[in-house]
Amino acid sequence: MTYCVGLKIDRGLVFMSDTRTNAGMDSISSFRKMHVWERPGERVIVLMAAGNLATTQNVVSLLNGRDKVMEEHKPAVLETPSMYQTARLVGDTLKKVIHMSAPGGERADSFFNASFILGGQIRGSVPRLFMIYPEGNFIESTEDTPFFQIGETKYGKPIIVRTYDRAMSFSEAVKLLMVSFDSTLKSNLSVGLPLDLLFYERDSFKVRLEKRIEYEDPYYRAISDSWSDALRNAFKSLPDFPEE
Amino acid sequence: MTYCVGLKIDRGLVFMSDTRTNAGMDSISSFRKMHVWERPGERVIVLMAAGNLATTQNVVSLLNGRDKVMEEHKPAVLETPSMYQTARLVGDTLKKVIHMSAPGGERADSFFNASFILGGQIRGSVPRLFMIYPEGNFIESTEDTPFFQIGETKYGKPIIVRTYDRAMSFSEAVKLLMVSFDSTLKSNLSVGLPLDLLFYERDSFKVRLEKRIEYEDPYYRAISDSWSDALRNAFKSLPDFPEE
């Protein structure tokens, strides 16, 4: 499995992804699921992947122009005129890859399935955040739904729904994602450390922070240790059931 | 979908279930998923069901002896010598019902699938709690795993894992289940009010409280309204991410 979240706040975009891939319980490994393209001053594009690793790696290779001869290698995602066109490019590439793998092609055969969260900003437009489905179509975040999750989304969703605030700072947004990931890591073995974190500040056109969070990361440990206590205290503060 | 939880604490057993059944998004109705058999002074048996409603109703009918002529109606679950035998009876009945419906019988064809949480106490033994699978086999709760969930289990699991304590009172246990159900109700439309609540006190051999909780129930409203605030305060109490 996988867990990735892309979050849109007033100040920009925040992304977090885990790194575990597995083929059965007895075959796990670490693969980066967050891919970043940056042309400082002009664009930052972040893509996070969930699903079949052969499919998602192949999509990223094609987006990087790896199907061309060496001297023509050049990431197509650095040439798109808008985030909308970038989302279409990713969706079309995904459809093509699934079509190559599965005889059923556009039916997005579940075995070769993948989905993506795409976010970023290209000069001339605002930051935008998309979710791209295995069928190649996509939706964009709105004020009503300012975040997208892919993979194992359920354990970590309630905390995001209840504490997200578009005016929050990067530090608060990272805290929110840490709590959401901690709940998921504690519940599903197929989501695993280390985590990749990135945040992008609106209109900066460069990555503000990109960081890999390992098990011994002091901030992650502080959150993981103190969230259980904070939750227990919150629980204690509620009224007990009045027995008739 | 469905959401049911059975929780074993030192003082006894606590059960909660929702009542929503649906066949698609546009066909929802309310059905009781909690079934209780009581012979005061001798036994209390509680069964909660998730899965295909035709299957689960059929199992309960057979457990009540409804396949016999009227004068022979008598619940077989009132005659079992132990909770273990009761779990076997439920498991065997479930296998039989699935076998009647699906040509594939014992393969527990997913379309006719159902699972159960069974708990209670019969004089001469301690309170026991079981989870019964569609294949008819079952597991019993232990100190390591003192609760079972069936149906939409993910949203409401983290709070149980983090705040359960075997020494908790009935009032605290009900509060815990209310929070767990509230998180689930807020996230999955196919889990719905009203809820059924029951608690059984160890060695009492009678139901201590059985109650239906409707939307306007004051305690449910208090929990639902204050949990978001409590959670936000807990979140605020954690350290923000220290940006390098």
A154 touches chain B (CB under 8 A): yes
pLDDT digits (tens, 9 = 90+) for A208-229: 999 999 999 999 999 999 998 9
Which residues on chain B are in Cβ contact (under 8 Å) with A151? none
Please give the pLDDT value at position A110.
62
At residue B3, the pLDDT reads: 96
Are A121 and A127 contacting, i.e. CB atoms less than 8 angstroms apart? yes
Taking contacts as CB-CB distances below 8 angstroms, the residues of chain A near B228 are 162
A34, pLDDT greater than 80: yes
Own/partner pairs, A136-144, CB within 8 angstroms, 24+ separation: A136/A91, A136/A92, A136/A94, A136/A95, A136/A106, A136/A108, A137/A91, A138/A87, A138/A88, A138/A90, A138/A91, A140/A87, A141/A6, A141/A8
Q: Please choose, from the candidates B126, B208, B48, B184, the residue with its C-alpha nearest in 3D space to the C-alpha of residue A241.
A: B208
**pLDDT recorded at residue A187:** 85
Strand-pair category, A147-151 with A3-9:
antiparallel
Residue B100 belongs to some domain of the structure: yes
Q: Is the residue at B118 inside a domain?
A: yes
The range of the structural domain enclosing residue A211 comes to 3-237
**B243 part of a folded domain:** no
What are the distances in angstroms from CA A200 to CA A15, A123, A204, B157? Answer: 9, 14, 8, 33
Residue A165 lies in a domain: yes
My answer on whether omega of the bond before A146 falls inside 30° of 0, hence cis, is no
Question: For B111-134, what is each residue's pLDDT tens digit?
Answer: 788 999 999 999 999 999 999 999
Q: Is the pLDDT of residue B104 over 80?
A: no
Give yes or no for residue A68 having a pLDDT over 80: no
A31 closest CA partner among A195, A156, A153, A152: A195
Whether A45 is in a domain gets the answer yes
**Cβ atoms B151, B17 nearer than 8 A:** no
- pLDDT reading at A104 higher than 60: no
pLDDT band at A24 (very low <50, low <70, confident <90, very high): confident
pLDDT tier at A103 (50, 70, 90 boundaries)?
A: low
Residue B108 has pLDDT above 70, yes or no: no
pLDDT score for A186: 87
Using CB atoms within 10 Å of the CB of residue B164, give its burial: 0 to 12 exposed, 13 to 18 middle, 19+ buried.
Answer: middle
Give the range among A50-54, A86-90, B194-198 with minimum mean pLDDT.
A50-54
Write down the mean pLDDT value for chain B: 91
Q: Is there a contact between B175 and A223 if contact means CB atoms under 8 Å apart?
A: no
Q: How far is A199 from chain B (nearest CA, A)?
A: 11
Lowest model confidence (mean pLDDT) among A101-105, B23-27, B223-227: A101-105
Q: Which residue of A has its CA nearest to B156?
A: A155
Distance in Å from the first CA to the final CA of chain B: 45
Residue of A241, A243, A244 to mutate when probing chain B, most B C-beta within 10 A? A241
Q: Please check whether residue A224 touches B, CB under 8 A.
A: no
Q: Considering the domain boundaries, does residue A58 fall inside one? A: yes
Nearest CA in chain B to A183: B158
**Each residue of B19-58: pLDDT tens digit?**
988 877 778 788 899 999 999 999 999 999 999 998 999 9
For residue range B61-103, what is the model confidence (pLDDT) as tens digits?
A: 999 987 777 777 788 899 999 999 999 999 999 999 988 876 6
Report the SS3 class of residue B69: coil
CB-count burial class (<10 Å; 0-12, 13-18, 19+) for A88: middle
CATH number at residue A162: 3.60.20.10
For residue B244, the model assigns a pLDDT of 59
In a domain, B56, yes or no: yes
Residue with tokens 């990713």: A90
Q: Which amino acid is at A63?
A: L
Does A159 lie at the interface with B, CB-CB under 8 angstroms? Answer: yes
- Any chain B CB within 8 A of the CB of A230? yes
Residue A167 near chain B (CB below 8 Å): no
- Cβ distance A241 to B235 less than 8 Å, yes or no, reads no
Residue B230 contacts A where some CB pair is shorter than 8 Å: yes
Interchain contact, B171 vs A222, CB within 8 Å? no
Q: What is the pLDDT of residue B30?
A: 85
Over 70: is that where the pLDDT of B107 sits? no
Residue A54 in any domain: the answer is yes
- For residue B131, how many other CB atoms are within 10 A of its CB? 21
Lowest mean pLDDT among A64-68, B1-5, B209-213: A64-68
What pLDDT, on the 0 to 100 scale, is given for residue B28? Answer: 78
State the Cα angle at A201 between A197 and A203, rounded to 5°: 145
Over the stretch A164-202, which tens digit does the pLDDT of each residue have?
A: 999 999 999 999 999 999 999 988 888 889 999 999 999
What number is the average pLDDT over the span A85-101? 92
- Tell me if B235 and A176 make a contact (CB, 8 A cut-off): yes
CA–CA distance, A48 with A33 (Å, rounded to integer): 5
Q: What is the mean pLDDT of residues A83-112?
A: 81
Domains held by chain A: number: 1
CB contacts of A227 in chain B (<8 Å) are 234, 238
Asked if residues A94 and A132 have their Cβ atoms less than 8 Å apart, the reply is yes
User: Does the distance separating the beta carbons of A179 and B240 come in below 8 Å?
Assistant: no
B235–A157 CB contact, under 8 Å: no
Q: Compare CB distances from B187 to A158, A230, A241 and report the shortest one's residue.
A: A158
Which residues in A lie closer than 8 A to residue B241 (C-beta atoms)? 170-172, 174-175, 178, 219
Please tell me if residue A100 touches chain B, with a CB cutoff of 8 Å.
no
| Mean pLDDT score of chain A | 91
